[in-house]
Structure 1
Amino acid sequence: MMSWRLLLGGMLIWALHFFALYGIGSIWLSSFAPRVLTILVTLLCLGGEAWLVARLSRRTGDHLDGWMRHLSLAMAGLASVAILWQAMPALLA
């Protein structure tokens, strides 16, 4: 079960970020508060991604486990780029 959490952890953090920004955008239309909240949520999610990458980097095991670790790291990297990409319109507007 832990392997599935590590495998999908990056995408789950990205999904959390997506829905949090959607909620922030739905509640506040345009002011200073949504930008601050967007920065806080983005930094929190990027911190979660960094924690996941650090945990995956320490993990060792057999060949199959190594393949899953590399796939998890790739998905966490992709999710980190998606988190940054999602935050840019809210921060630059």
Structure 2
Amino acid sequence: MIYVIGIGPGSKELMTMQCIDAIKDAEVIVGYKTYINLITDLIEGKEVVQNGMRQEIDRCREAVEIAKTGKKVAVISSGDAGIYGMAGLILELTA
């Protein structure tokens, strides 16, 4: 399973409960390191895969490969995951 999560502007108070619940449910967190740093209090003890800017395709490929092992993966984006995030790329890679 892959959750594609938009964390909005990054403040926990501005995230939806669905976003927070999905992060808590995930076993592996994948994302751009700056966005990962915004949610460290939510991902304590989880496996984290992070890298730098312009490596979106690599992050999504790795998320798909990890999910194939049966783990629940959360791909973290800023803003809306469908507009600014990785939803389109994840769908493309899994099609």
Identify whether the pair has TM-score above 0.5, normalized to the shorter chain. Answer: no
Structure 1 length as normaliser, TM-score? 0.29
Structure 1 or 2, whichever has the larger Rg, is: 1
The structure with the greater share of residues assigned to helix is 1
Structure 2 length as normaliser, TM-score? 0.28
